[in-house]
Amino acid sequence: MAKMLINDKNKKFIVKDDADELHTNYGLIKNLKKAKLNSKVKSNTGHEFTLIKADFIDLYRKIKRKAQIIPLKDIGLIITETGLNKDSIVIEAGAGSGALGCFLAKICSKVYSYEIREDFYNVVKKNIEHLGIEKLVLKNKDAKKGFNEKDVDVVILDLPDPWELINVAKKSLKIGGFLVSYSPTVPQVMDFVNKLGDGFLHLKTAEIIEREWDIKDRKVRPKSQAIGHSGFLTFTRKIK
């Protein structure tokens, strides 16, 4: 069971199972093996932390990053627009660092993830182990050569040229299944939508803007450093 230290400033430190002490910028914390969950512990500099069970989202925020990941705000839209659930089977092409695939594997029945680059593939393998993911099948394979899976619910493309996989995705999607493309630029979106063909219905293209707020007493205002543009999500559906 993974554990985590958290203080009143929302500073978090993951504690390995066999760790008895942890060096932090708040000082050294000792005797962690004897500490009970939900108890208070102090560093040698007097800073207080609570030792709690680390949830999936806590471990997720600590994954290794080799490629830029799809942020949570965009993952949320993918899940809700396609209705992903415990019975869903998903293919993703372009695993990157594995953030999307690992998150969806905690929700869906099975996720098949294709990644052509071996260095990215190795990072995703480590993240799968770090998160204890069981429902993700990772493949070091060029997605453009085809998917092995058929009759899937959703295909997600996170590639520079998603239009080149439209026909590949069509062969694997069930009728009524969703094809989702994630692209950072407008020309990519244009080329993808213009090349869909009559087998797909373009549902929507959207960008999610997230703005956090600072709240201190009656001083309430948007944070000075907002989260900028991440990508455009294009949702389509196979209709024949």
Quick one: which of 152, 125, 151, 127 has its CA closest to 140? 125
What are the structural domains of the chain? Answer: 3-54 (3.10.330.20), 62-238 (3.40.50.150)
98-140 pLDDT per residue, tens: 999 999 999 999 999 999 999 999 999 999 999 999 999 999 9
pLDDT, averaged per 10 consecutive residues of the chain (240 residues), comes to: 88 85 89 89 92 94 90 97 98 96 98 97 96 97 97 98 98 98 97 96 95 91 81 97
Under 8 Å between Cβ of 195 and 187: no
- Number of residues that this document lists for the chain: 240
Residues 62, 134 contacting (CB under 8 angstroms): no
Q: Label residue 132 left, alpha or beta by phi (over 0 means left) and psi (-120 to 50 means alpha).
A: left
Q: Cα–Cα–Cα angle for 162, 189, 238, nearest 5°?
A: 60
Q: What is the pLDDT of residue 239?
A: 97
pLDDT of residue 226: 66
Cα 128 from Cα 46, distance rounded (Å): 36
